[in-house]
Amino acid sequence: MKIKNMFIKTYNKVKNRIKQISVLLYIKTNILFITYVIINLINSWLLRIVTMGNLFSFKAIISDLAFILIIGSFAYLVKPKKQFKILMPLTILMTLICIVNAVYYENYISFASFSLLSTASFLGQMDGSIVTNLINLKHVVLIFPLVILPVVHIILKKKKYYEKVTKIERGKKRFLNTIILGVLTTFLTIALMESSDYSRLKKQWNREYLVERFGIYVYQLNDAIKSTESKFTSLFGYDTAAKTVREFYEEKQKNYVEQKNEYTNIFEGKNVIVIHAESMMTQNMTLSFNGLELTPNLNKLASEGLYFSNFYSQVSVGTSSDTEFTFNTSLLPASTGTVFVNYWDRTYEAIPNLLKQKGYYTASMHANNGSFWNRNVMHETLGYDKFYSKETYDNSNEDEIIGMGLSDKEFFKQSVEKIKKINEENDKFYVTLITLTNHTPWDDEDKYGDYAVDYKYTETDEGANVIEKSLPYMEGTELGRYFKSVHYADSAIGEFISELDNAGLLENTVVVIYGDHDAKIKKSEYRYFYNYDLETGEEYDKDDERYVDVDYYNYELNRKVPFIIWTKNSKDNNVLNKQIDEVMGMYDVMPTLANMLNFDYKYALGHDIFSTSDNIVVFPNGNWLTNKMYYNAQKEEYLQLKDTIVNEDEIEKNKAYANRILEVSDSIVVYDLEAEVPNEEEK
């Protein structure tokens, strides 16, 4: 028995030694490939750390590994000394994917969509500083693969490594083995998937979850595939999408109860002027510096008209263009690409189209290039009779060029003359004005006017002399520059209202003002803003009880934008002079205005805010917000906003509703279903 045990023990030692030698031999003869795998796997892990703070995700690592192995395996089809020429371009590609997504996440709290490539030309029309301001030093760590792989290659080359490996390597066999390993890893990824993961991959709305679950490379591959969807809509999925949309609206019609309220038809026949306020946030209306309000004009208009204090934009990668689309159609942005660029050739039930049926002349005005966000095409699709873009404005005065183009004050001044002419030639009009000055990067401080964002105070010296002092506070910060720009933009709006009044254009006109989206400023800027000690000029420590942590929910809830409906005499009318605190989204605007202006619609996903008491705002990433809670679909958790009992059935109901309207909206946009799906009367 002892001899047998000794034999078995010796056999196992030898077998393990052989295995060890085999593993060592593989490592020694595949140094470049192993380096390629490790550095790109580490880089995807680092990306999750610098974005989501996710230290470890086994599922994402397995998924990324499968991708890296499969695409890298083809390097084995060439001789060892040529493998670098395949592995290096792949590493460059994956490094770029990590860097682009890190920068995008830092500024937009989401991951980049492949479809952004179709809008990359818009960056070219911006000042270079806009792009450079997006980059953070911590992103530099993500370029390390571009250094490591060439260094390893050079060292191996000097040591005559490739000549030695060529004698023993069987490329096709290693290619096959690597492919098999990659496929097995893929199967493991699939085996670890939950039932909801398939739906999330298909819908692509919850990008943060997809990166956390599948890694950045698989996410980007899936997004690239989804981004081509608009090219093949006539070939795949139409019947299913049409059925989904038809059933949704049939059910909605079945449960419809006509609700009239004190705002029904209140503005019928009136002219409408809409101000699309670039990057204007609600928080601005609560701030003052040195006793001076940041937005005195917006505050005055809000105090005199209808002010919606819990109003949220619902943008995706299309930012301003997404807001224009949702504002006018009550549909949500596309899950891939942008409606203005990828789905402009559709039929949309939009406010300009609907008001034209009531005899309105419709026009849009913007002092930027007409091709920016494809507006020159899309505005016609939405139903604007004319789009007044950059070439219709006088841009010759350099003093009136701020940031991306013509200053808001000059834009409004010239626009008043255009509106006067429109008013003279038409019975009723609907005009949208899109502002520009308050667009990032807010660098033209010398043109914003004299508005200090420091902290001024006085002290008395021993001789009883009053000495004026100041602390820098927000001066020199990105958020401080934004505040200065906001004050200018607010001043421009105030002057515009006065010019309209002087021209007699406010007598029969409703003015609608909305912020298109938040400023997308980094959390670190807000942490500095909230935690600045006005006594010492230093920041509060995290342990200080006064410290405000700008966490995920704090940041998201702070992204609300102003929405104001104002008329010249609204301050004297109790119905038109009040604050509405009900939570509201951009897709609720069209139904709300439809009730006030008396026009019909079929496809709106939002609600007339005056006819609902339990509204829900659904965001393109699957998150949703009610008066009671903010639900984070990425992490499947929520923040309770009121001291009410959380009803799990209500949460599940809202989750299902959010997913459903996202699917319905996307189906309408992708498959042009407003033009194709018959309503009950047409059947």
Lowest mean pLDDT among 67-76, 162-171, 535-544, 553-562: 162-171
Lowest mean pLDDT among 270-274, 455-459, 585-589, 679-683: 679-683
What string of DSSP letters covers 570-614?
Answer: GGG-TTTSEEE-S-EEGGGHHHHHHHHHT---S---S--GGG-SS
Q: Where are the alpha helices (DSSP H) in 109-135?
A: 120-124, 128-132
Q: What percentage of residues in the chain have a pLDDT greater than 70?
A: 88
When pLDDT is averaged across residues 406-424 and rounded to a whole number, the result is 98
Pick from 445, 449, 505: nearest CA to 475: 445
When pLDDT is averaged across residues 524-544 and rounded to a whole number, the result is 93
Tens of pLDDT, residues 256-314: 777 899 999 999 999 999 999 999 999 999 999 999 999 999 999 999 999 999 999 99
Asked whether the predicted pLDDT for residue 567 surpasses 90, the reply is yes
Instruction: pLDDT band for 202, please (50, 70, 90 cuts).
Output: low
Lowest mean pLDDT among 198-202, 312-316, 441-445, 575-579: 198-202
**Model pLDDT, residue 629:** 95
When pLDDT is averaged across residues 312-339 and rounded to a whole number, the result is 93
Instruction: pLDDT band for 679, please (50, 70, 90 cuts).
Output: very low
Asked whether the predicted pLDDT for residue 360 surpasses 90, the reply is yes
CA distance 11 to 22: 16
Tens of pLDDT, residues 69-102: 999 999 999 888 899 999 999 999 999 999 988 8
**Model pLDDT, residue 682:** 41
Tens of pLDDT, residues 384-394: 999 999 999 99
Tens of pLDDT, residues 102-161: 887 776 567 877 655 555 445 444 444 444 445 566 678 889 999 999 999 999 888 888
Pick from 30, 73, 75: nearest CA to 168: 30
CA distance 159 to 20: 24
CA distance 34 to 69: 10
Q: ∠ at Cα 293 (315, 410), nearest 5°?
A: 65
CA distance 327 to 514: 9
Asked whether the predicted pLDDT for residue 588 surpasses 50, the reply is yes
Asked whether the predicted pLDDT for residue 531 surpasses 60, the reply is yes
Instruction: pLDDT band for 328, please (50, 70, 90 cuts).
Output: very high
- Tokens for 542, please give them: 């995290």
Asked whether the predicted pLDDT for residue 332 surpasses 60, the reply is yes
**Model pLDDT, residue 223:** 81
Instruction: pLDDT band for 369, please (50, 70, 90 cuts).
Output: confident
**Model pLDDT, residue 666:** 93
Classify each residue of 314-351 as buried b or exposed e, where b means 16 or more C-beta atoms within 10 Å of its C-beta. Answer: bbbbbbbbbbbbbbbbbbbbbbbbbbbbbbbebebbbb
Pick from 203, 206, 199, 196: nearest CA to 225: 203
Give the torsion sign (CA, 330, 336, 341, 343).
negative
Mean pLDDT (the chain) is 88
Amino acid of residue 469: K
Tens of pLDDT, residues 42-54: 999 999 988 887 6
Look-up of token digits 């602390």: 471
Run of H or E including 306: strand 306-308
Residue 42, class by beta-carbon neighbours within 10 Å (0-12 exposed, 13-18 middle, 19+ buried)?
middle
**Model pLDDT, residue 1:** 53
**Model pLDDT, residue 97:** 92
Pick from 522, 563, 530: nearest CA to 547: 530
Measured between alpha carbons, how far is residue 274 from residues 258, 324, 343, 509, 514 in Å? 27, 11, 24, 10, 8
More confident residue, 16 or 412: 412
Measured between alpha carbons, how far is residue 453 from residues 280, 313, 407, 533, 534 in Å? 17, 27, 21, 14, 12
**Model pLDDT, residue 131:** 46
When pLDDT is averaged across residues 374-383 and rounded to a whole number, the result is 94
Residue 543, class by beta-carbon neighbours within 10 Å (0-12 exposed, 13-18 middle, 19+ buried)?
exposed
